[in-house]
Structure 1
Amino acid sequence: MPPNFRPTYDYDDPDLTPPSPGVDLIMQVGLVESLPGIGPATGGQYIGIPRAIGPLHTRLWRPHDQVEMTLPNTDLQLWHAPFHVAGHSHGEFKLSERRGWHWLRWTVADHVTHDLRQLRTEADLGVTPVYSETASDPLVIVPCGAAKAPFPCPAGELYTGSYHRLTRRAADALTSSDNIRIISALHGLLPLDQVIAPYDLRFGRPGSVTAEQLQEQADQQGLLGHPNVVILAGRDYTRLTQQVWPHARAPLTGTRSIGEQQHRLARIAAGEPISGGGLVIPIGAIWPRDDR
């Protein structure tokens, strides 16, 4: 029988100064619980120690029965007891209504969104983590493709389909080859010179890349926090990528067919201004290229 678990986090600020919300606070408190109504069939709530918090899900370990499970961030909230106990001890019984404590009503998803907004704000202010290229030279993300060369080769040469080749031409019109990344369903973020073997895996199937993996790869490649990101891909790849770079521009947003996407990509490749999803990208004005 597992030993009784006792949370160790304690909040004892007599001034009831609110901690900053976000994933760091959740990990510091070290305990999450499911929302009322979301729990075992026998009743109650899931309570556990967060092991990893991703863009959409949290992996937690339940100490009372030593089971690890994953739940959507929208179904979880931070363990609030230490804050409410401190509030009650100082005569404050509506702590969530006090200035700076509104996050007591948040789910884990809200905390993740807060961190992403903070990252976007820092990017806009130019105080993001260090990345390798200048802000005027965008990071451009393009999708992989089903058609591939039959032998191992650099990622920039592996994908042979017409749609991928068109996204590459558009990307080449926007930035240098060092700042282009291919999202592979199997490998994640691929520099053009990384040699890989052909594979057969479609995006979204078991084993395909996750947002958590993309975020880790972006961090390893020095790209996390890049303030100037463009995604030249369809809806599913764009949604996945914007979980890592929520401020990224997506000029194919709002297209209704592959044909319309190809038309926009051709215009980008030709250096023409385009619009889509309320977004206008004057290619030559915003991202001048002296090395084309």
Structure 2
Amino acid sequence: MPAIPVPRFQYNDPDLKAPAPGRELIFAVGLVESIPGVGPATGGQHFGVPLSIGPNNTRLRRLHDNVEVTLPNDSVTVWAAPFQVAGHAVGEYALSNRPGWHWLRWTVADHVSYDNQQATAAIGPDPSENPLVIIPCAATKADRPAAARDLYIGSFHRMCYRAASALTSDDNIRILSAKHGLLRLNDQVDPYELRMGDPGTVTVEQLIRQAREQEILDHRNVVILAGRDYTAMARHLWPSAATPLQGSRSIGEHRQRLAGIAREPHVSLRAA
């Protein structure tokens, strides 16, 4: 029987710089564990060395008995203790809430999706593919339940929608809601009061799950028409997306760029 491996990975960066997620990080850490509730019949969790990570499953060798098991990627997480210990050493007890560390809440399936996004981003967008356009919700809403396209009635949101409509079809437009995440235009929504960043707003992990369910997570041609906070959230999913409003110095400049996209969509995107 081969020797039982001993955890050796350490993370000692006092500035808590977040390493990039993905398979490479998981193999560098060298240990994974199953999520609570997924474990041996005798109880506890599977905890072991990752041997291979495929599109759907992870093969690992358990530490306590050297038995190899295969688990679905969405039932396995990377061993997070070294990073959490480093955070505690400098007084950070909520490391996963810091910029760049959201992947601490990911399963292996999320890391695989991240790698897939990076690979498609390296290839570049497919010019023949209709863009997926992300626009923000709005603080001003109708006073009764409605389809998402009708619920948000703020003027900036409506300008974003007009620009998005010039770029793509309605099927390829998503409204990024602070409460509900990625909404299709015909999704029925009740009025609510919540702004991005408030307690209870949608998380990156929830957005990733929604995008995967809607089969848009690996879309290679993505345009984000939104302000800073909404753009930052969407870029967790699509890091190489076009962001033609980025760099605008005022809401007035945002509106000018949106009006330009609505008039001459492809010219305005190239100039952005």
The runs of 5 or more residues in structure 1 that have no matched partner are 1-7, 12-19, 61-111, 282-292
Partner Cα distance (1:9, 1:144) in 2: 50
**1:194 aligned partner, one-letter code:** D
- Conserved? CA contact 1:124–1:227, under 8 Å: no
Percent identity over paired residues: 44
Q: Secondary structure at the match of 1:21?
A: helix
Query: How much does 1:22 deviate?
Result: 3.4
Equivalent positions of 1:193-208 (< 5 A) are 193-208=186-201
Equivalent positions of 1:1-292 (< 5 A) are 21-23=24-26, 27=32, 29=49, 30-32=78-80, 33-34=82-83, 38-39=87-88, 56-59=102-105, 116=114, 119-125=117-123, 135-272=128-265, 273-274=267-268, 280=271
Partner Cα distance (1:31, 1:188) in 2: 28
* Residues 1:221 and 1:271: Cα distance change in structure 2 (over 3 Å): same
* Residues 1:23 and 1:228: Cα distance change in structure 2 (over 3 Å): farther
- Identify the residue that residue 109 of structure 1 maps to in structure 2: none
**1:274 aligned partner, one-letter code:** S
- Conserved? CA contact 2:147–2:187, under 8 Å: yes
Cα deviation digits, residues 32-59 of structure 1 (max 9, x gap) = 3137753369x9x99xxx9xxx962524
- Conserved? CA contact 2:223–2:242, under 8 Å: yes
**1:31 aligned partner, one-letter code:** W
Q: Secondary structure at the match of 1:34?
A: helix
- Conserved? CA contact 1:135–1:227, under 8 Å: no
- Conserved? CA contact 1:55–1:211, under 8 Å: no
* Residues 1:9 and 1:158: Cα distance change in structure 2 (over 3 Å): farther
TM-score, L = length of structure 2: 0.63
Query: How much does 1:259 deviate?
Result: 0.3
Cα deviation digits, residues 222-265 of structure 1 (max 9, x gap) = 00110000000011111110000111100001000000000000
- Conserved? CA contact 1:123–1:225, under 8 Å: no
Partner Cα distance (2:101, 2:86) in 1: 23
- Conserved? CA contact 1:143–1:184, under 8 Å: yes
Partner Cα distance (2:132, 2:168) in 1: 7
The size of the alignment, in residue pairs, is 199
Cα deviation digits, residues 69-90 of structure 1 (max 9, x gap) = xxxxxxxxxxxxxxxxxxxxxx
Partner Cα distance (1:59, 1:182) in 2: 24
Q: Secondary structure at the match of 1:225?
A: coil
Cα deviation digits, residues 200-227 of structure 1 (max 9, x gap) = 1111001001111111100000001100
- Identify the residue that residue 81 of structure 1 maps to in structure 2: none
* Residues 1:23 and 1:168: Cα distance change in structure 2 (over 3 Å): farther
- Conserved? CA contact 2:159–2:255, under 8 Å: yes
Q: Secondary structure at the match of 1:230?
A: strand
Q: Secondary structure at the match of 2:271?
A: strand
